């Protein structure tokens, strides 16, 4: 199995939760698979374990990826790393595939010189966010990192304390309220692909803000979005 190549030259592809169209999402396997390809960036989802360690997982339960109905943030990382995940390629649990630490993800991005795109999930404390930035600073120039979130309060906190980091407001809709929020706070936009049009893209560009769209797995749709002028496309499988 391989990625689906688009016909247009475009250097803004971001691997959604790693190369999740082939490997189990948000795992070291997925991050390395993306790192070995032409992606500009690799996206991940950050949550905190019970002991405060930052981990990479989209869901807060293991039901979908580990067949266990447990609340992940209620366990320490030493406990979490004992839970195995489903290998996307085989459909079976694989004891070599586990939830990684955020620092493991950063190490992959740094080693392969990929832009780190970090989604801050709900439930994080300000101390967790500070820890996230501390870990980033050990691996990166902050200019080589983007933080994305549906929570504009998280973004505002990062903006106040770490102004160099690129910030993207995540949203599943596009309206004047979203534009006003982004323009006022100088948040770039990360929007559901079906919600954006060329006029919106130009509107953001005119005030110096970038536009990322998610999650695009259709080749023709991606090529239309590139013609619109979007800056980045988040995808599971396109390259």
**For residue range 36-48, what is the model confidence (pLDDT) as tens digits?**
999 999 999 999 9
> What pLDDT was estimated at residue 236?
98
* Average pLDDT estimate for 157-182: 96
Mean pLDDT of 99-112: 97
Q: Taking residues 169-182, what's their average pLDDT?
A: 98
Residue 210 Cα to chain centre, angstroms: 16
Measured in whole angstroms, how far is the alpha carbon of residue 238 from the centre of its chain?
15
Residue 213 β-bridge partners: 191, 233
Rounded to whole angstroms, how far apart are CA atoms 67 and 84?
9
List, in order, residues 6 or more apart from 151 with CB less than 8 Å away.
Answer: 120, 122
Q: What is the pLDDT of residue 195?
A: 97
CATH class of 13-170: alpha beta
Q: Please say if the pLDDT value at position 177 is more than 90.
A: yes
Q: How many whole angstroms separate alpha carbon 46 and alpha carbon 128?
A: 10
- Tally helices (H) and strands (E) across the chain: 9, 13
Nearest to 54 by CA among 106, 128, 118: 128
Q: How far is CA 21 from CA 34, 133, 135, in A?
A: 10, 29, 28
Query: For 118-158, what is each residue's pLDDT tens digit?
Result: 999 999 999 999 999 999 998 888 889 999 999 999 999 99
When the pLDDT of each residue in the chain is averaged and rounded to a whole number, the result is 97
186: number of Cβ within 10 Å = 13
Alpha-carbon distance of 123 to 175, in angstroms, equals 26
DSSP codes of every residue in 56-119: E-SSSEEHHHHSEEEEGGGS-HHHHTTS-EE-TTTSSEETT--PPBHHHHHHHHHHHT-EEEEE
Q: Is the pLDDT of residue 76 over 90?
A: yes
């Amino acid at each position: 199995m391989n990625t689906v190549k688009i016909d247009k030259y475009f250097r803004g592809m971001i691997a959604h939760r790693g190369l999740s169209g082939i490997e189990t999402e948000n795992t070291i396997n997925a991050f390395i698979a993306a790192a070995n390809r032409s992606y500009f960036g690799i996206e991940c989802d950050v949550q905190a374990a019970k002991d405060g360690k930052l981990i990479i997982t989209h869901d807060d339960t293991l039901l979908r990826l580990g067949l266990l109905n447990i609340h992940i943030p209620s366990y320490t990382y030493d406990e979490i790393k004992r839970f195995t995940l489903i290998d996307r390629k085989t459909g079976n649990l694989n004891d070599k595939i586990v939830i990684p630490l955020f620092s493991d993800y950063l190490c992959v991005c740094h080693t392969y010189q990929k832009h780190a795109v970090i989604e801050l999930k709900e439930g994080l404390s300000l101390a967790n966010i500070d820890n996230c930035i501390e870990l980033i600073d050990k691996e990166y120039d902050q200019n080589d990192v983007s933080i994305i979130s549906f929570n504009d309060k998280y973004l505002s906190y990062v903006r106040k304390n770490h102004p160099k980091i690129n910030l993207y407001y995540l949203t599943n809709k596009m309206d004047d309220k979203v534009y006003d929020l982004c323009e006022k706070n100088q948040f770039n936009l990360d929007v559901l692909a079906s919600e954006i049009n060329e006029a919106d893209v130009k509107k953001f560009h005119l005030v110096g803000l970038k536009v990322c769209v998610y999650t695009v797995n259709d080749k023709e749709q991606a090529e239309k979005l590139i013609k619109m002028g979007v800056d980045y496309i988040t995808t599971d499988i396109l390259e």
